[in-house]
Amino acid sequence: MLFFSYFKDLVGREVTVELKNDLAIRGTLHSVDQYLNIKLENTRVVDQDKYPHMLSVRNCFIRGSVVRYVQLPPEGVDVELLHDATRREARGG
Amino acid sequence: MSSSTGLESLVDQTISIITNDGRNIVGVLRGFDQATNIILDESHERVYSTKEGVQQLVLGLYIIRGDNISIVGEIDEELDEKLDLSKLRAHPLKPVIH
């Protein structure tokens, strides 16, 4: 639940989602759900020459299960806050 | 609701699906569920290769199991018409490795 809330706070930010098939897609985070499925707007594939498979796609839905990394804007991460929150969740409260 | 993560907004629109085995299937979204299972009408597969342009294989009505779906992309018809698929050359996408 923690990372769901965390990603919800990032809505509207520019992120890069790297998939488990090595495709990396950059776009504006539009929404996220309980499975950490992600919707991006104004997407562009990071290496378009190598991956022209999504040239006519501007908005997309990425299944949470295929996400390897989400690269965040530096100002989108409050490391201290996240540390505290993860520790609190690990303790079960 | 515009901020929902569901695929409601894409129903009856042309979408492009990338599957976990790296295939690209384009068709009209008719239905979906929680598990991202998808009903795709008038679908065709776009086969990428480095030797020739993109081949389009007609598939028809498909149900794709959610487990096997990586990306659901909304096709921008205008951009798609401008694409010259016969000139596009690329390696097929790699399969997803969990």
Lowest mean pLDDT among A76-80, B19-23, B27-31, B63-67: A76-80
Residue A22 forms contact with B (CB below 8 Å): yes
**A16 pLDDT tier (thresholds 50, 70, 90):** very high
Residues of A in contact with B85 (CB under 8 A): none
Residue A60 forms contact with B (CB below 8 Å): yes
Write out chain B in H/E/C secondary structure.
CCCCCCCHHHCCCEEEEEECCCCEEEEEEEEECCCCCEEEEEEEEEECCCCCCCEEEEEEEEEECHHHEEEEEEECHHHHHHCCHHHCCCCCCCCCCC
Partner residue facing B90 (CB), from A22, A52, A65: A52
- What is the tens place of the pLDDT at every residue in A27-77? 999 999 999 999 999 999 999 999 999 999 999 999 999 999 999 988 888
Domain residue extents for chain A: 2-91
**A93 pLDDT tier (thresholds 50, 70, 90):** low
Quick check: helix, strand or coil at residue A46?
Answer: coil
Predicted local confidence at residue B41, as pLDDT: 98
Predicted local confidence at residue B2, as pLDDT: 47
C-beta atoms of A61 and B5 within 8 A: yes
**pLDDT over 90 (residue B4):** no
Predicted local confidence at residue A76, as pLDDT: 86
Residues of B in contact with A22 (CB under 8 A): 94
Distant-in-sequence, close-in-space partners of B67: CB < 8 Å, separation ≥ 6: A65, B20, B35
- What is the tens place of the pLDDT at every residue in B62-84? 999 999 999 999 999 999 999 99
Domain at A2-91: CATH architecture: Roll (2.30)
Predicted local confidence at residue A1, as pLDDT: 86
Domain residue extents for chain B: 5-81
Sheet holding B55-64, edge to edge: A67-71, A14-19, A24-32, A38-45, A57-62, B69-75, B14-19, B24-32, B38-47, B55-64
**pLDDT over 50 (residue B1):** no
Residues of A in contact with B73 (CB under 8 A): 43, 54, 57, 59-61
Partner residue facing B70 (CB), from A55, A58, A63: A63
Partner residue facing A53 (CB), from B20, B48, B72: B48
**ipTM of the predicted structure?**
0.95
Residues of B in contact with A58 (CB under 8 A): 74, 76, 79
Looking at domain B5-81, which of 3.50.50.60, 1.20.120.720, 2.30.30.100, 3.30.43.10 is its CATH number?
2.30.30.100
Report the candidate in A73, A3, A86, A80 with the shortest Cα–Cα distance to residue A38. Answer: A3
Q: Does pTM surpass 0.80?
A: yes
Query: Residue B23: closest CA among chain A residues belongs to which residue?
Result: A53
More confident residue, A78 or B92: B92
